[in-house]
Amino acid sequence: MVDAGKLGPDQSVSALSGVGPQIAAKLARMHINTLQDVLFHLPIRYEDRTRLSEIGALIAGNSVVVVGQIELAQVVYGRRRSLLVRISDGTGNLTLRLFHFSRAQEKGFRRGAWVRCFGEVRRGPKSLEMVHPEYRISSERPTGALEATLTPVYSTTEGVSQLLWRKITDQVLKQTLPVVPELLSTDSLPPTISEAYAASSLQSALQHLHRPSAGCNIEDMASASSAAHQRLIYEELLAHHLSLRHSRQQQQAEAAPGLVAASPSADKLLNELDFDLTAAQQRVLAEIVDDLCLDTPMLRLLQGDVGCGKTVVAALAMLHAVDSKLQTALMAPTELLAEQHYRSLKQWFEPQGILVGWLASKTPAKQKNSTLEMLASGELQVVVGTHALFQETVEYHNLGLVVIDEQHRFGVDQRLALRSKSRAATVPHQLVMTATPIPRTLAMSFYADLDVSSIDQLPPGRTPVETVVMSAQERRVDVVKRVQHACAEGRQVYWVCPLIDESDVISAQAATDTEQELAAALPDLRVGLVHGRMKPVEKDKVMTAFRSGNLDILVATTVIEVGVDVPNASLMIVENSERMGLAQLHQLRGRVGRGSAQSYCIMLYDPPLSAHAKHRLQTMRDTSDGFVIAEQDLAMRGAGEMLGTRQTGSLGFKLADIMRDQHLIPYLPAAADRLLTHQPQQAAALIERWVGTREGYVNA
């Protein structure tokens, strides 16, 4: 029951003074529709306007409040017309610089008047400056009180100013905060720190974060280590975890076709393979088959390092669908990777009389129409392709299993579209794969609605790739000699460049130039080029030549990052490695070391190296463990960048940071269990509070 005179948290933002239809529409685009949404739209940083600084003690880079008397105001003409105003407080001088100003503003800065201003102090041509500060002019030295709290700065959109944000949050803090319900009891908080959290109620925590008292340290606020921060961070993490669990419950309520446990086709393939599955592959395959036999949809993440054998495990799972008289689709993010899967499945399946179809955006119309007809009739049981697999024109007869490779490269909507392609009353099972291992921290938070299987063992006989880091300027001649030596021994070489053509904007080695240079330097060797702008037929011709040993050196862009398997390639050169992320470097290195010969990866860089680049390259030199690299990648880039903006855009945290706050994550499952069992309404309210309408897109 909302008190008289109070505005309930579920009321529209239109109830606030100053929020008309236009402002409400702009707020809605930021997913801010109710007063509760305003309360939980927390500041991204703070400005300290609570203290007056002496001009003589100013330090460039700080944002401060100063008071000074105007000594001079003049318009100067240089590259840009600007209004310069020199002020002094007796301890020093400061210049205010305005590029955009009116005649009235110019007249307002009269000599002898006083001005109080706030802004960032910068180094100017002759003295310290403030460029376009906030200011107020008065005839007498201002003596009024400064701000009582730190000034919050909110993320916003065009047409919603910081002043308006402060006005509407002032209203909500006064009229809505007192009636916002507590949704977490003390026993739902981590036991080791519940005292600190309990000392900060929800109301006091929100008040503190929106309007920190004057004594607060801005650096402490930025580190989010206060009891108020931690109280809300934990609640937000729990809300996201609950939303994933809720998504999982919804999925489990749906029906899926139960597949056969025994697959003669899978057994036959196992007998015909020229290698044995590792213990890890056998364990993971058993987990997948157990899921497929259930009449609830499997949603399993299969992760493993490059070269661990995920594809053959997925193929065996697909054969269980084939023997269950159901269709199965394998989707990959690029044509090159999809083509690799297509070739592998044809090689394994077609000797058993199982047709494998191909569907990509550039598939010729005649072939595409034939494939579509066979899919709709059920004649074609297995299809491989790119995003073309979920276009509106594609109809499946009885889709039972969907396999998605490199799942983090697909947006949520794309995965939903393929999942909804079944015409039956059931939804297909879903197996998503990644060769970029997901750190445990992310798996517990972003993948709480998936079962996770890990192939943590490489096939026997694999020799770790030896990684060397060197300057391209100093050692390029030596590297070319190394390439010549490797090819003389009958081995093949990858040479990877970040760009296709030379760029005026980016200083990096181009693939077309490198191909010409290597062909001239090594005339006895056969050099090929592959990149993303080539037509599929041309690309396939070059890749086939390299795969069959008719090319010695393949110069490529990062299109070969995944899906290329040439066991005879034992040397990889990576140009401008300092420009690439850990995951990409690890994927590229994974293209060699796929045979029994010792393989090498030379990472060339252009000095000087930044601290981050040094750390990345040192990590690549020190370890070949994809799980260790994934943890380092998470630490350096953060969850959003690691998972890709398309995936995390709908899951953006307001306050929490996965890496910084990972100490709280182990407490989430048990707390979620308690809430879902004993207080399901509280759990739903918590999801609505922090995730809201975005929940429907969480890890579909």
Task: Give every residue of the chain whose pLDDT is below 70, as ranges.
Answer: 1-5, 187, 191-200, 407-420, 422-424, 437-449, 461, 501-509, 561-564, 637-652, 693-700
Q: pLDDT tens digit string along 391-433?
A: 888 899 999 999 998 755 554 555 556 666 766 678 899 998 8
Q: What pLDDT, on the 0 to 100 scale, is given for residue 648?
A: 37
Q: What pLDDT, on the 0 to 100 scale, is given for residue 76?
A: 92
Q: pLDDT tens digit string along 450-485?
A: 788 888 887 876 778 899 999 988 899 999 999 999
Tell me the residue ranges of DSSP E strands in 8-149: 45-47, 63-77, 81-88, 93-98, 114-123, 128-131, 134-138
Contact 60, 69 (CB under 8 A): no
pTM for this structure?
Answer: 0.67
Contact 64, 117 (CB under 8 A): no
Contact 426, 662 (CB under 8 A): no
Q: In angstroms, rounded to a whole number, what is the distance separating the alpha carbons of residues 663 and 665?
A: 6
Locate 119 and state its tokens: 């802004």
DSSP string, 362-404: TS-HHHHHHHHHHHHHT---EEEESGGGGSTT---SSEEEEEE
Q: What pLDDT, on the 0 to 100 scale, is given for residue 194?
A: 62
Q: Per-residue b/e over 656-693, b at no fewer than 16 CB within 10 Å?
A: bebbebbebbebbeebbeebbeebeebbbbbbbbbbbe
Q: pLDDT tens digit string along 106-149?
A: 999 999 999 999 999 999 988 899 999 999 999 999 887 788 89
DSSP H or E stretch at residue 471 = strand 466-471
DSSP string, 615-648: HHHHHHHH---HHHHHHHHHHHH-HHHHH-HHHH
Locate 5 and state its tokens: 């005179």
Q: What pLDDT, on the 0 to 100 scale, is given for residue 198?
A: 57
Contact 37, 31 (CB under 8 A): yes
DSSP string, 344-364: HHHHHHGGGT--EEEE-TTS-
Helices 279-292 and 310-323 pack at an angle, to 10 degrees, of 30
The total number of residues written for the chain in this structure: 700
Q: In angstroms, rounded to a whole number, what is the distance separating the alpha carbons of residues 375 and 658?
A: 42
Q: What is the distance of C-alpha 350 from the center of its chain?
A: 38
- For the chain, which domains are there? 13-46+151-223 (no CATH), 51-138 (2.40.50.140), 264-455 (3.40.50.300), 466-623 (3.40.50.300)
Question: In one letter, which amino acid is 263?
Answer: S
Locate 638 and state its tokens: 């953060």
Q: What is the distance of C-alpha 667 from the center of its chain?
A: 24
Handedness of CA 355, 359, 362, 363 (dihedral sign): positive
Q: Would you give the DSSP letter of residue 55?
A: G
Q: Would you give the DSSP letter of residue 57?
A: G
Question: In one letter, which amino acid is 84?
Answer: L
DSSP H or E stretch at residue 677 = helix 668-678
Q: Per-residue b/e over 387-412, b at no fewer than 16 CB within 10 Å?
A: bbbbeeebebbbbbbbbbbbbbbbbb
Q: What pLDDT, on the 0 to 100 scale, is given for residue 87?
A: 96
Residue found by looking up tokens 């880079």 in the block: 61
Long-range CB contact pairs, 260-266, < 8 A, 24+: 260/293, 260/320, 260/323, 260/324, 261/289, 261/293, 261/320, 263/316, 263/319, 263/320, 263/322, 263/323, 264/323, 265/319, 265/322, 265/323, 265/349, 265/352, 265/354, 266/316, 266/319, 266/320, 266/323
Query: Which of 634, 655, 656, 631 minimizes the C-alpha distance to 643?
Result: 634
